[in-house]
Structure 1
């Protein structure tokens, strides 16, 4: 049982070591679920009961890591509640945490920062990249402000559409997207390497509220990791889902249905709520794949 648990925590990453070269960048997926992961606390529905019965694997909150195979540095995209598991994956692969990029101030995207404090890792000036309101939120609210005052983290202010260069060939560009912005603005990221570019939008309101054309943005990149929190209306009985600020997976597929198959295949759905049936082996998941789209998997690696 202990071996099975350890294998799960490492996301089966160790078998990917041999595939890494000494002088390139890779992006690895460390989580694909919504903020609370899967299973979710307090859920008594069949979706989470299936996990406790051993029918479905655990899925961690959405997180990516950009890996430099020469320097062995790693940059996380999001600091999730499962930060320790995702850090363990980096440790197993032989990478050191060099920085964190945050999209916004919802719990699944920044609360893992607490592990950098003196009660746990006690890090020194780990760069944390955040937009102005997100930066101010961390500076002026405990316990996050203590990470700043004790120099556990060093906040780096991002600007809309302004790139952060990690070296001559690799850059990260934030861009504003509409979302529930109670405490901060929300961004997606464009992660560009020497050969490939990834669009990462884990949270957004309906696509029509964005000031960009999704289909055109997909054409500009090689991979598009897109918000798939809920599959369709009616998924949450008793709730008016028209008031939930996320595009349904079914809506995104309909919006992009006229794209050539080459462009559709760039779409990799991510950030699944525990209720989204496409997270599991289901007719809905098969529907996504049949239509030419993809679903992100934990442990998936992409050469940049």
Structure 2
């Protein structure tokens, strides 16, 4: 009798455990979306977080993280057409494509219907290699590029092999010229000042049926741009803006004038007279591994929120 009771309890325990496992699996899946949406797929600077070789306090606790912060990328989902679009081809592209396609269907991985590149720094285009024959051997994935980027990818290995083998299909886009992806989704590139060793650099305006987003992950300084960033923010509903470094002196062993970006503290001052409504549109993104905005519950994070701004986070979804 005793053995029967023990056996029954064991079965109940196993059933309970199985139910918990199933619940975890279900809860870990991405929720599909029902309307055109923008999703944050990564927030780190080009080299990711933690950054290679870093044993300083900013990274030391991150090496054992099972979910390291991925390189900055956003995606657009059109669920009715079952189409997705990727902005940036980062070193984390295989994970980001999986995540992006899961918003349409949790049970499959769908390559994007188009990839929009900003420039030729490592975190923004090198993921294209995963589309080659050594990996998925993709077929004619449209890759939207500015003229110098088009020439760079067409003329230099290993990228030109992707073109020659038909893994990618380069599409030229031009400054301030709208690209109509569908009847309710339009993309406009615009040139911004940024180190152009190989190509120009652009940001994007992403216009849906109801809302519009600005995506500028890299720019040298706001004052170097001939266009008013404040005016551009007023025209959109969301603005995902370069926040590579929080403040000057963040990288002690380098002259930070060699790697110009708008420090977050500079953006605070620049945007201090904007309305609460316009400040709330701003989501800081593209964080270097030294940036305290990557740390949970940091004073820097609290400062951003208290001043009325936002911090981009992987998995955030925005209606378009």
- Dislocated runs of 4+, deviation >4 Å: none
Structure 2 residue aligned with 1:177, among 182, 186, 192? 192
- Extract unaligned runs of 5+ from structure 1: 1-9
Normalising by structure 2, we get a TM-score of: 0.87
Structure-1 residue corresponding to 2:312: 296
CA distance in structure 1 between the partners assigned to 2:93 and 2:289 by the alignment? 19
Conserved? CA contact 1:13–1:299, under 8 Å: no
Residues 1:58 and 2:68 are matched in the alignment: yes
Matched, 1:33 2:44: yes
Q: Give 1:15 deviation, angstroms.
A: 4.0
Q: Partner of 1:223 in structure 2?
A: 238
* Whole-Å separation in 1 of the counterparts to 2:115 and 2:63: 32
Q: Which runs of 5+ in 2 are unaligned?
A: 1-24
Partners of 1:62 and 1:134 lie apart in 2 by 19
Partner of 1:46: 57
1:67 has 2:77 as partner: yes
Q: Aligned residue pairs: how many?
A: 289
- The CA RMSD measured in Å over matched residues stands at 1.5
Residue 76 (str. 1) matches residue 93 (str. 2)? no
The secondary structure found in structure 2 opposite 1:190 is strand
CA distance in 2, matches of 1:230, 1:123: 36
Give me the whole-angstrom Cα distance separating, in 1, the residues matched to 2:201 and 2:166.
25
| Structure-2 change in CA distance of 1:91 and 1:67 (3 Å) | closer
Partner SS for 1:292: coil
Instruction: Determine the structure 2 residue equivalent to 1:151.
Output: 166
Tell me how far 1:254 sits from its aligned partner: 0.8
Partner of 1:249: 264
Shift of 1:243: 2.8
> Is structure 2 residue 292 aligned with structure 1 residue 277?
yes
1:66 Cα offset (Å): 0.7
User: Bigger radius of gyration, 1 or 2?
Assistant: 2
